[in-house]
Amino acid sequence: QVDLMVSGGGSVQAGGSLRLSCAASASGYTYCDYDMKWYRQSPEKEREFVSGLDRGGHTTYADSVKGRFTISRNNEKNTVYLQMNNLNPEDTAMYHCEATATCADFLGRSRTKTYWGRGPRVTVSS
């Protein structure tokens, strides 16, 4: 089992910055490796991919956030961050973290599964 704890978010004015965190905590495994993604959803839109960082360090961004958002990770803490700069009202949404975890138990058996961490809400006022 992998639990994701998402934190950060809040309310800012346009042009402001926020940082989101998504920390993965695994139980029952000796080792896990993660591909991490951020999504967002607002009432007016369908769920939208925001950014991804795979276990190889490759990053991807939605066109709408390129140059403003930066995804990074702390492998020791199994945490991925989303630094959001120059926010605008269109960034207002609930942000969700997705982790595709490949984990191995003490017998060396591996399993890949996708987990979700919901929240937090980001509100950007004009």
Helix (H, G, I), strand (E, B) or coil at 24: strand
Give the C-alpha separation, 100 to 88, whole Å. Answer: 29
Q: What is the mean pLDDT of the chain?
A: 94
Is the pLDDT score of 106 beyond 90? Answer: no
pLDDT tens for each residue of 2-37 = 899 999 999 999 999 999 999 999 888 888 899 999
Question: Do residues 25 and 2 lie in contact, with contact meaning Cβ atoms separated by under 8 Å?
Answer: yes
Is the pLDDT score of 82 beyond 90? Answer: yes
Q: What is the largest CA-CA distance in the chain?
A: 54
Is the pLDDT score of 96 beyond 90? Answer: yes
